[in-house]
Each structure stands twice: as C-alpha cells, then as structure tokens.
Amino acid sequence: MNQHFFKAKISSKKIINAELCLIRLSVDGWKGHIPGQYVEICLTAQNDYKAYRPYSIASKPNNKYIEILIERIPEGEVSTYFYDISDIGDELLVSKPLGQFFILPIIDKDVILIAGGSGIAPFMSMIKNRYSNKKFQLTLFHWSKNFSGLVDYDVLIKQNEKRNYYPYITQEIPDKWSKGTGRINIKAFEKLNKNLYHKIFICGSDTFVENVNGIIKETFPHREILNERFGDV
C-alpha cells in the first residue's frame, strides 16, 4: 500500500451494544479531516502480516484524535479485533483522511443523511461539526435493529427543536417507543418538503444503500445522491 501512515494508539474504547463499539485513536501528527472522510486502518500481526480496512471518521474534526464506530462482523478479521480483543494503549497505523466525494465541508444548503446501522459513523462527524452553523438544516434518518444501536440518540433527540431527526427501529422495539418502526419505505419521506434539499447522503451496508437508492430516486428526482457502501455478506 503506497501511502503515508501515521502511528496511532487506542486511547479509549466504549462498548455500545452487542455489535457496536466506539474506538478513539490518538494519532501522531494528525491534521484533521473533512466530515464524511474515512481512514485506512492497518493492523500488523507479530509475523508482520498486515490487514487493511477502511473506517469512516465519526468524530468532529480536530488535530489530536479520531473516533471510529466499529460494527462487529461475525468471523470478521479486523472488526472482531477491535470489538473483542483491542485494549487501551494498543498501537496501529492510520492513513491520512481519504475520500473526496462523500463529504460535507461547509453546510450551506439543506441536506438529508440516511443511515443504516453503523452507517451512522460519517454522519456523526458531520452532525457534530454542524452545531456551529444553525442556518441550514441537516435532516437525519437512522434505521437500527434496536434502540442501543441508535448511537447518540439522547443528544440528537434533545437538539431536535426543528424536528429533523428521524430514528427507526426494525427488530427489537422497546415498550413505549413512539418513534419510527419497520424497514425503510417511501412513507418515511412523505412529510419532507421535496424542493428544500440539495444533496442526499446514504450510508450503510450494500443492501441498505441499494434499497434506499430505489426509494430516494423516486421520491427526490433530480437531487444529487451520494452513497457510501460498507460491504455485505
């Protein structure tokens, strides 16, 4: 792999639920990123075998650390290392920030963000960065199997004065849950002003992104649609 890698250390690890964890990496010489970008992570085994995987940056831009939200994929080489084995102080390598298209540098128009599961990761960075600019609206839809997978729910629901956060639970629906349920469908977008939004970002597994594209192209014709696919079985 022909690119510069920074030395990094795990400085915190938070288990969110049975599938997700949030890892903070302190990165030597880090210079920040544009929300929406990802990094290539390189793990090196004792026999010098190297495994590379891309992960979206979930933290707000800064020059000290990045956070990555990892979904544990059963039998997955790198995601199970992070979820099951990794510990504070572990060392690894992180590339410079990558990706020039799925980015939200300055919010100057209203946009829609649509996430499936861990696909919320790049949007966490965009949303945290957005709070300084309240002029334009960022509308977030998040589909998750369960409540605990709705990462940052408490913060997002509190900051929801403009009613622009739409959480959905598809499987383990808690008692008294009054927000969205069920898989993504065209009805979810009916309330939105179709002329307002200028870009639509979609992120999640291949299957999720494909499904959403079908619906979105019909609901919002002539809008720019940007996709980030995390892979699938």
Residues lying near ligand FAD in the complex (CB under 6 A) are found at: 38, 53-56, 68-71, 73, 75-80, 118, 121, 205, 228, 230-233
Per-residue CA distances from 6 to 29, 39, 106, 173 (Å)? 7, 11, 26, 42
Which tokens belong to 172? 């383990």
Q: State in angstroms the smallest separation of the CB of 206 from ligand FAD.
A: 8
The smaller minimum CB distance to ligand FAD, of residues 14 and 187, is found at 14
The smaller minimum CB distance to ligand FAD, of residues 54 and 180, is found at 54
Task: Calculate the CA dihedral of residues 101, 183, 54, 28 and round it to 10 degrees.
Answer: 90
Taking the C-alpha atoms of residue 94 and residue 41, their distance in angstroms, rounded to an integer, is: 5
Q: State in angstroms the smallest separation of the CB of 141 from ligand FAD.
A: 17
For 123, phi then psi, to 5°, come to: -75, -30
Q: State in angstroms the smallest separation of the CB of 151 from ligand FAD.
A: 11
Q: State in angstroms the smallest separation of the CB of 65 from ligand FAD.
A: 15
The smaller minimum CB distance to ligand FAD, of residues 38 and 220, is found at 38
- Beta carbons of 9 and 25 less than 8 angstroms apart: yes
